[in-house]
Structures are given as C-alpha cells and as structure tokens.
C-alpha cells in the first residue's frame, strides 16, 4: 500500500527506472521512450523523474549535476547519487558507481559482445537504489510510483516487495513495462546470495526460472501492474508462441496486464524542422522530401534516380527483425529498379549478408554498419518505404518515424506494427485509412507480395501522394500514452489503498 493520496488534484510523483535514455545513451527504442515519456508526463502536470546507471555517456551528459547522497555499500563499495536534468529539463538521478558502470561503449556487453560477468550486480544496484529513493533514504523527494522498464530494472519490484514485508507498508506503487520479453536478464542460481533477498524469493513464484534466476520475472511477478508497449503484444505474450516461457505467468496476471502504445517525440522527430535534414517538409509541402532523397542518394553513393523506389532499413540486425526476408527478396526489388539503404549493426551473419548484397548490387544497395542517429533521420526523410518485416515487434518505433517522415512502412502484422500500420488494401485506399503495406505470415511469398504492392502503388503517383499525406498526418504523440500510464498508476494506487 502506498502512503500517498491517489486523487486527481495531487501531482503524481513517478520515478522511471531504466538503463538507457535518449539523447545520452541509446541502443534501441527503450532509450527513445525514456527520453520522451517522463517529459510528456511532466507536461501533463505529473512530477516524473528518471533514475539511470552512471554509464560514461550519461554522467557526461547530465546537466546541472549536484551530489544528492553517498550511499551505503551495496554490491560495490563506492556509490554516489547525483541529480541533474535532461536538456528538456526532466529531472534525472544518476548512480555513480565507477567500478560497475564506468566502461566504454555498449552498456550491457564488452567489445566482443559478451555480456559483462557482473551484470547481475550492475543492474541489481539499479533496482536497489530505486527502492532506497522510494523509501526516502536518499533524497527529500519520494515517488508515489516506481515505474521500472525491462529486465535491467526488474529487481526494483522484488526489493520493493521485500521492503513492504519488512515494514508492513509498501514505499511506492510499482509498475513494470515490458519493452521486449525476449531479453530476460537470466543468471545462474548461485548469484542469488549476492542480492540480499530472503531465500523464499528464489522460488517458482519469485525469481526462479527453470533453475536460473530471472530479473524480468521479478518485474512480472512482484509489480502491482504490468504494461507492455502495444495492445497486440500484450495479447501475444500470453501465448506459448510469443511468451518466451513466461506466458503462464502472464496469463495468471492477465487482469493486471495492459498494452499502451508508445508515441513519437515530436521535438526530436519533426521533418519540418529537423536539423539533421538537408531539406524540410510536412504533409502538405513535400518538395523538401525530394531534396532529402536526392541528397541521401548522393551522400551514400546510390544512383541519382529520383523515381527509383527507395527502401530504407534502420534497425538492430537481429533475428527479431526478420531481415532475412529482405536478403532473400532483394533481387526482385533490384529487378524493378528499386534501391535499398541499410543502417544497422548486430549479428555477424546479418552484417555479412548485407555487406555481400552491397557488393552484389553496387549503386543500388548501400549498407552502413554502425549506429548513427543523424543518418537515421536522413534515411527516414529520404526513403519512400521503410522496411520492418519483424518476426515479432513489441511496439516498433521506426515504422512510426517512417510515417512521420513520409516513408511508407512495409511491416509484418505483429505486435505494435499491427497496431500502427493500415495496409493499402482497396477498401483502405478507398476510405483513406491506408498508410503502409502489411503482410501476414512470416513467409517469403507474403513479404514479396507486399513489396510488389508498394511498386504498384508507387506507379500511381497521385494515389501514392495521398497515402503518404495521410501517413504523415497520423498522430502518434506522447500525450495519450502519458495519460494512459497515469490512469494505470492511479488504478494501481487505488487498488493498493483499498
């Protein structure tokens, strides 16, 4: 039970707990969400703050940093809490524990992509500090709601539950958002003793998962409410096919599980003012988009063909993203005069596959391996179609960025892709709802047919422009999700207070 007053007039205090945050540190969509949702909540009158591990990029980025507390030893001897803000003024707490976090590059793995052997300590500390803040041990400010994101923050819910057992009162209401159930934070059972939790937390109704220890299960088991990032994914993860072994628990908790679709941060993603773009445009005036396309073709070394259908991919190169369909279907795109640009990094096999394709189709395919924020914006602005053929996709942001920047998304009907893209069927074209191309099964023939539909529509410029105008006008801003989360917090607080 939270000690706070769950009425509408009182500003809700929310602590978001996560491992990444745009613009400081980003490996995927989680960072975009953490960089935007708390700020949207502040704009709605809530007092939302963020707690992050002190990775070098985060410590370097923190604005107006001041020391808040020196923490008692836990997992590490030296640990200081700082408070500062994001460029948009959202308050941020940062855990400065150099021996755990002061490592260059990827926040989760070393230069050879091996997860750090002390990841359990690094992310247990994140959850533990969140609960110290919630309990009022570290600062004057205490959240009503502790909102943890993904496995990295999953242990916060277990520590909160433990604190409640010790005191008879829960320091805060807990909400856990699953951004991707496939990443679970699994560790060998023998590390349990380091976590400082009583033995009964390592049971089938606790952190234990097939003999291992699961951080994501902590979030699913012990949080008052569970959210995920689209309504379709909320349904899918209750099935054996998409449940990653946790579908039983998710079905058990179905009444507490909800899907809230992510938004798009209009300040960072606006083709009318984006500083990364060589030309600006909006749904009504698209001349600037043609300039972006020509300039991108030149920048990347693609043939300067204004009418070539230009496909773009901005993605982690992982199994999840279904990119094999592009590799196998590419020759058909090339045969029709299409072009492709890929920006991504990840699995060696996919990186090699795309690099080979670049060699096979010089001037028509360009592949950039790496992570480049500003180039990603230019790709959405320059492309005609953005490809997201995922096997599964909890929400997906690139299809929404594509729409906003006038690149029609071509997606598989799964998760958040199903919830955001309306296929160019004849009916949908007729009633003006079409905004992209959707295929059903994860089969080459289905993908190829969707690509074919894109070529057919592109050959009808008036209709193409009409669909693009509609796609660009779609509203995916963060206001609705910010309010949906507020309703979820209040319902959880009321249930806790009852």
Residues interacting with ligand ADP, by CB under 6 A? 28-29, 32, 314-316, 343-345, 371-373, 376, 395-398
Closest residue to ligand GLC in the complex (CB): 29
φ, ψ of residue 310 to 5 degrees: the values are -100, 115
d(CA 125, CA 142): 18
SS3 label, residue 59: helix
Q: Is 180 in the site for ligand GLC (CB under 6 A)?
A: yes
Q: Is 184 in the site for ligand GLC (CB under 6 A)?
A: no
30 vs 365, which CB is nearer to ligand GLC? 30
Q: Is 19 in the site for ligand GLC (CB under 6 A)?
A: no
- Give 381's contacts (C-beta < 8 A, 6+ positions apart): 271, 274, 277, 279, 281, 289, 292, 293, 296, 405, 406, 407
Q: In what order do the strands lie in the sheet with 365-369?
A: 365-369, 339-346, 310-317, 385-388, 408-412, 437-439
Site string for ligand GLC, 282-311 (x = CB under 6 A): ------------------------------
* Closest C-alpha to 475, from 414, 400, 385, 393: 400
* Closest C-alpha to 43, from 266, 241, 303, 237: 266
φ, ψ of residue 202 to 5 degrees: the values are -100, 70
With CB under 5 to 8 Å by kind, the binding choice for 345 among ligand ADP, ligand GLC, none is ligand ADP
With CB under 5 to 8 Å by kind, the binding choice for 344 among ligand GLC, ligand ADP, none is ligand ADP
φ, ψ of residue 263 to 5 degrees: the values are -115, -170
- Give 334's contacts (C-beta < 8 A, 6+ positions apart): 361, 364, 365
With CB under 5 to 8 Å by kind, the binding choice for 229 among ligand ADP, ligand GLC, none is ligand GLC
CB of 233 to ligand ADP, least distance (A): 11
Stretch in the footprint of ligand GLC (CB under 6 A) among 25-33, 202-210, 245-253, 461-469: 25-33
- H helix intervals, 336-438: 348-360, 373-382, 398-404, 415-420, 426-430
CB of 383 to ligand GLC, least distance (A): 19
Q: Is 277 in the site for ligand GLC (CB under 6 A)?
A: no
- H helix intervals, 168-286: 215-222, 231-236, 247-252
Closest residue to ligand ADP in the complex (CB): 29
With CB under 5 to 8 Å by kind, the binding choice for 398 among ligand GLC, ligand ADP, none is ligand ADP
22 vs 82, which CB is nearer to ligand GLC? 22
d(CA 99, CA 112): 20
d(CA 490, CA 484): 10
Q: Is 17 in the site for ligand GLC (CB under 6 A)?
A: no
* Closest C-alpha to 453, from 487, 423, 477, 497: 423
Stretch in the footprint of ligand GLC (CB under 6 A) among 23-31, 64-72, 248-256, 284-292: 23-31
Contact residue for ligand GLC among 312, 322, 394, 481 (CB under 6 A): 394
Q: Is 229 in the site for ligand GLC (CB under 6 A)?
A: yes
173 vs 376, which CB is nearer to ligand ADP? 376
286 vs 315, which CB is nearer to ligand ADP? 315
Q: Is 238 in the site for ligand GLC (CB under 6 A)?
A: no
With CB under 5 to 8 Å by kind, the binding choice for 372 among ligand GLC, ligand ADP, none is ligand ADP
395 vs 407, which CB is nearer to ligand GLC? 395
d(CA 237, CA 180): 10
* Closest C-alpha to 343, from 320, 369, 322: 369
CB of 417 to ligand GLC, least distance (A): 8
In this structure, what token pair is assigned to residue 284?
């009504």
CB of 31 to ligand GLC, least distance (A): 9
Sign of CA pseudo-dihedral 130, 131, 132, 135 = positive
270: number of Cβ within 10 Å? 16
CB of 371 to ligand GLC, least distance (A): 14
Q: Is 219 in the site for ligand GLC (CB under 6 A)?
A: no
d(CA 21, CA 86): 9
94 vs 397, which CB is nearer to ligand GLC? 397
Contact residue for ligand GLC among 23, 28, 231, 278 (CB under 6 A): 28
- Contact residues toward ligand GLC (CB under 6 A) are 28-30, 33, 179-180, 229, 262, 393-397, 416
């Amino acid at each position: 039970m939270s000690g706070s007053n769950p009425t509408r007039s009182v500003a809700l205090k929310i602590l978001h707990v996560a491992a990444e945050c745009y613009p400081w540190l980003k490996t995927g969509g989680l960072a975009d969400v953490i960089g935007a949702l708390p700020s949207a909540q502040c704009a709605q009158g809530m007092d939302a703050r963020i707690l992050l591990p002190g990775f070098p990029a985060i410590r370097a980025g923190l604005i107006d940093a001041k020391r808040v507390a020196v923490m008692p030893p836990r997992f590490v001897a030296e640990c200081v809490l700082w408070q500062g803000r994001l460029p948009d003024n959202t308050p941020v707490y940062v855990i400065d524990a150099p021996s755990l976090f002061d490592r260059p590059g990827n926040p989760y793995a070393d230069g050879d992509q091996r997860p750090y052997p002390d990841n359990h300590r690094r992310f247990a500390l994140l959850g533990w500090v969140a609960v110290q803040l919630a309990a009022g041990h570290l600062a004057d400010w205490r959240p009503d709601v502790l909102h943890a994101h993904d496995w990295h923050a999953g242990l916060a819910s277990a520590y909160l539950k433990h604190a409640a057992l010790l005191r008879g009162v829960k320091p805060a209401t807990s909400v856990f958002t699953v951004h991707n159930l496939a990443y679970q934070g699994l560790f060998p059972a023998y590390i349990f003793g380091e976590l400082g939790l009583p033995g009964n937390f390592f049971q089938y109704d606790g952190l234990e998962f097939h003999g291992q220890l699961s951080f994501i299960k902590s979030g699913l088991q012990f949080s008052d409410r569970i959210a995920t990032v689209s309504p379709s994914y909320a349904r899918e993860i209750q099935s054996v096919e998409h449940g990653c072994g946790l579908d039983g628990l998710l079905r058990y908790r179905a009444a507490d599980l909800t899907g809230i679709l992510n938004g798009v941060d209009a300040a960072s993603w606006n083709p009318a003012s984006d500083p990364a773009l060589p030309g600006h445009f909006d749904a009504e005036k698209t001349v600037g988009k043609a300039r972006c396309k020509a300039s991108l073709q030149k920048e990347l070394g693609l043939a300067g063909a204004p009418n070539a259908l230009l496909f773009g991919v901005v993605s982690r190169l992982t199994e999840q993203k279904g990119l094999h369909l592009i590799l196998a279907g590419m020759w058909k795109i090339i045969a029709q005069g299409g072009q492709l640009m890929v920006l991504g990094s990840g699995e060696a096999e996919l990186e090699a596959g795309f690099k080979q394709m670049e060699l096979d189709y010089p001037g028509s395919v360009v592949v950039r391996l790496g992570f480049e924020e500003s180039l990603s914006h230019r790709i959405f602005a320059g492309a005609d179609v953005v490809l997201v053929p995922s096997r599964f996709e909890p929400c997906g942001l690139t299809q929404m960025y594509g729409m906003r920047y006038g690149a029609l998304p071509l997606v598989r009907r799964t998760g958040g892709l199903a919830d955001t893209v309306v296929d160019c069927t004849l009916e949908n074209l007729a009633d003006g709802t079409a905004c992209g191309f959707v295929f059903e099964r994860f089969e080459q023939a289905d993908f190829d047919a969707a690509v074919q539909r894109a070529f057919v529509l592109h050959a009808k410029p008036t209709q193409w422009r009409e669909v693009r105008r509609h796609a660009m006008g779609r509203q995916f801003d963060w206001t609705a999700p910010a309010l949906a989360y507020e309703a979820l917090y209040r319902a959880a607080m009321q249930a806790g207070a009852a």
